[in-house]
Amino acid sequence: MSGRYVIGVDVGGTFTDVFILDQQTGTGEIRKVPSTRPDQSQGFLAGIRSGVDTVAAVATVVHGTTVGTNALLERRGAATGIITTAGFRDVLEMRRRDRPTTWGLWGQFEPVIPRDRRLEVPERVLADGSIHTPVDLDAVTAAANQLLADGCEAVAVAFINAYANTANEEAALEAVRAVWPNEHVTGSHRILPEIREFERISTATLNAYLQPVVANYLQRLQDALRGDGFAGDVLIVQSNGGVMTVDTAGRVPIRTALSGPAAGVIAGAHIATSAGFPNIVTCDMGGTSFDVSLVVDGQTALTPQTSIDFGMVVRQPMIEITTIGAGGGSIAWVDRGGLLQIGPESAGSDPGPVCYGLGNDRPTVTDANVVLGRINAERPIGGKLARLDVEAAKAAIEATVGQPLGLSVMAAAEAIIKVANSRMAGAIRLVSIERGHDPKSFVAMPFGGGGALHAGALIKEVGLAGALVPRFPGVTSALGCVIADMRHDFVRTINGLLDTVDIAFLDGEAAAFRNEGQALLDRAGVAFEGRETLVELDMSYLGQTHTVAVPLTVHGTDGDSLGIARDAIRTAFEARYHEVYGRVLERLPIRVLNVRVTAVGRRPKFDLSILAPGVDGSVEVAGRGNRPVFVDGAWHDAAIFDRLALPVGAVIPGPAVLEQSDATIFVEPDLQAEVDRFGNLMVRRKEPS
């Protein structure tokens, strides 16, 4: 019985989503339970217990977590201090001389670490790595004791130019650990051994800020699982789309900053590529936000740096995700100029939309969908409520939107949806059209609890080829947890000209990272289908500020060399530069800034056909009658279906509403939906009659 289940769990602001893969029977099941705050582990465990006979039968649990994300956005991390080089305590406030409002007269910003907990000590390493001033260890010890007296739970040691020579910072870390009462001590060069002091110090500081919060949460989670008899592996989804062990997540929690959304993109890429659509735009609509990411030729796009919020810069590889405040709980309001706005404020899960009846009186996107008949008020998803209060939603829309704008309740509700759709379409254009991609070559992949309600409008507004709705859109991120690979990223600054850089040193550093990554994969105790080493260089022409990522072909799986050669680097750089900018710059020196190495362990992927409906279903059996739905200013009689009962090949013309326990799909009157061999729904424009 041991090792029967692999379970993916994604904890969102409103619901905790669970995908259960039964390896014995080759079947998949889902669960959706209310999230529990402030202790998310309770909802996590409730979701798992609801889906298996015994937790002892679970082989692996893979978790996409928002604990770190929420702690950053809500500034609820641990009390943290910084020990830094004399004269550099204000790097976090200076940033890159940017402002929250570009054209404002001033910008007010308070770092997560107040100035009185940013302490300086004598030390100095020069940019060439030479030690100008050895670190004063007595001053380091005194600073650590002062931070402890001030109530700090975590500390970051962040010295200028520590990337070039780690000696001073390593000595300081040893001195701090001698007096620090816990493991929450972060060294900047261990998190990011890379040039640019603000990005390195910001990333290290935020890592320290999250350590107690994330590590304590994961420890509670593990203890509760072990108490239920669980003896398997717990893996955590990283922001780069890979997974890592709990130990790694506890040491480097900053890698979980976009954990949950990343899992959704991974699932979307796998589902769509299997279905024959390698070019997609993932559209994850939850209770608070709408997250968009582009997948080209089946490959997710990674960005080396992300700003979680203004001034909270994280320089770690992350799946590139654009987020706007247009979730189901986003609040509709009329501004002083008489314009209808959606978000960014959200009703969240508590009190939630007006129709939840939990005390909110301001209408949300979900309230508008309920009033328009697109959401079944008698069968709300998630099991949190028995029914939704349609009349309360109508009253709130009329008072907040209808009366100020002189609209009827139904017109006001549809206006809310149209404004929300317009904002979502803008986010899709940002990641597609504005980057040179033709939307006619892409399909939308809507998921999350609300994404499929808006898919038709996005197809028409952006000009997409269609929308592919996964079998379980409400738990797609949880499914992504189950299929995500294990991944470890490394970086080292080289900062030299290609003609003169020590290629043997560069090659040796890359090989050392490859070996370290393979060792981490070995220690994880996870079965892999295969392994891969990826090597990239950050490169530019001399004098340029921005770099391009240049992938290299490497050779060998072990040893002290990857076979990197100078001429091969030059050829790869010119090819990549021409691809990005359309030309190369002759006779300019080429600079190599950083070397990046990624170790990937490919985890087994289950056959998505196990999610497909059985052969004995029919459209007639799946039918659930009709109900009126308001679209484009008029009522339409929409057919209602049990989506999961529809057989492969079924074609459903709009208007139609397809319902399931984790999501609702709305097919607009001029569209149709077809069930593919995996149980996905392909939504397209109707064929001309």
pLDDT at 513: 93
Using a 10 angstrom Cβ sphere, with 0-12 exposed, 13-18 middle and 19 or more buried, the burial of residue 385 is middle
306-336 pLDDT, tens digit per residue, is 877 677 788 888 898 888 878 888 899 999 8
Provide CB contacts within 8 A for 137, sequence distance 6+: 171, 172, 175
User: What are the beta bridge partners of residue 642?
Assistant: 659
- DSSP class of 444: E
Find the mean pLDDT for residues 156-172.
94
- Distance separating alpha carbons of residues 164 and 53, to the nearest angstrom: 54
The token duo for 464 is: 């997409």
Beta strand pairing status for 671-675 and 681-685? antiparallel
Question: Cα 99 vs. chain centroid, distance in angstroms?
Answer: 25
- Altogether, the residues listed in the chain come to a count of 689
Please give the residue that has the higher pLDDT: either 365 or 224.
Answer: 365
Contact 686, 654 (CB under 8 A): yes
Share of the chain above pLDDT 90, in %: 53
388-418 pLDDT, tens digit per residue, is 999 999 999 999 999 999 999 999 999 999 9
254-266 pLDDT, tens digit per residue, is 999 888 889 999 9
pLDDT at 1: 36
463-516 pLDDT, tens digit per residue, is 999 999 999 998 888 899 988 888 888 999 998 999 999 999 999 999 999 999
Find the mean pLDDT for residues 597-612.
86
pLDDT at 53: 81
Domains, the chain, ordered by start: 486-602 (3.30.1490)
On the question of pLDDT at 559 being above 70, the answer is yes
Query: Which of 319, 321, 325 lies closest to 287 in space, CA to CA?
Result: 325
The token duo for 675 is: 């069930």
pLDDT at 558: 67
Share of the chain above pLDDT 70, in %: 97
pLDDT at 382: 62
On the question of pLDDT at 21 being above 90, the answer is no
**φ/ψ of residue 108, rounded to 5:** -100, 125
Find the mean pLDDT for residues 657-672.
92
On the question of pLDDT at 570 being above 50, the answer is yes
Find the mean pLDDT for residues 240-246.
88
pLDDT at 165: 93
Find the mean pLDDT for residues 372-376.
94
